[in-house]
Amino acid sequence: MTKEIVKIPACPFCGSNIEKPEISGDDPDIILGRCSCGAIYACDESGKNMGVAFIEALVMACNKDWDMAWELSEDKDFKTEIVEHYDLISHLVVPEGVLDKRRIAGALFFVKLAATLDIKEGKQKEANAKISTPSFKEKDYPAIRLSKKEVEDLIASYNFRPILALAGRDKRLIKNLQRLLYSADPLIRARTAEVLGRVCAIISKSGSAQQISRLIQTLLYSIVDTAAFSLGAFEAIAEIIANAPELFERYVPYLYQLLSEKSRRAKALMALARISEAKPELLRGRAFYLLRFLNDDDPEVRGYTIILLQRLGASELKEDIAKLKGDMNEISVYENGDILMKTIDELVSKALNRL
**Interhelix angle 209-224/186-203, nearest 10 degrees:** 150
Task: State which of 278, 297, 317 marks the end of a domain.
Answer: 278
Phi, psi of 103 (to 5 degrees): -75, 130
Q: Which stretches does DSSP call E strand in the chain?
A: 22-24, 27-34, 40-44, 78-87, 92-93, 98-99, 102-103, 106-113, 330-335, 338-343
In this structure, the answer to whether residues 251 and 177 fall within a common structural domain is yes
Full residue range of the structural domain in which residue 250 is found = 145-278
Task: State which of 278, 301, 327 marks the end of a domain.
Answer: 278
Q: Which helix (H) or strand (E) holds 227?
A: none
In this structure, the answer to whether residues 262 and 331 fall within a common structural domain is no
In this structure, the answer to whether residues 165 and 79 fall within a common structural domain is no
Answer yes or no: are the C-beta atoms of 33 and 136 closer than 8 Å.
yes
In this structure, the answer to whether residues 294 and 251 fall within a common structural domain is no
Neighbours of 298 (CB within 10 A): 16
Answer yes or no: are the C-beta atoms of 16 and 37 closer than 8 Å.
yes
In this structure, the answer to whether residues 82 and 69 fall within a common structural domain is yes
Within a domain: residue 5?
A: no
In this structure, the answer to whether residues 165 and 274 fall within a common structural domain is yes
Give the 3-state secondary structure of 307-323: HHHHHCCCHHHHHHHHC
Per-residue model confidence as pLDDT tens for the chain (355 residues)? 445 678 999 999 999 999 999 876 545 567 899 999 999 999 988 766 666 677 778 888 888 776 677 667 777 788 888 899 999 999 999 988 888 888 998 999 899 998 644 433 333 333 333 333 333 333 333 334 457 887 898 999 999 988 888 887 777 899 899 999 999 999 999 999 999 999 999 999 887 888 999 999 999 988 887 655 678 999 999 999 999 999 999 999 999 989 999 999 999 999 999 999 999 999 999 899 999 999 999 999 999 999 999 999 999 999 999 999 999 999 999 999 999 999 999 999 999 999 9
Task: State which of 254, 278, 302 marks the end of a domain.
Answer: 278
In this structure, the answer to whether residues 274 and 152 fall within a common structural domain is yes
Question: What Cα–Cα distance (Å) separates residue 156 from each residue in 188, 193, 232, 239?
Answer: 6, 12, 16, 18
Predicted structure pTM score:
0.64
Helix (H, G, I), strand (E, B) or coil at 79: strand
In angstroms, the CA 34 to CA 32 distance is 7
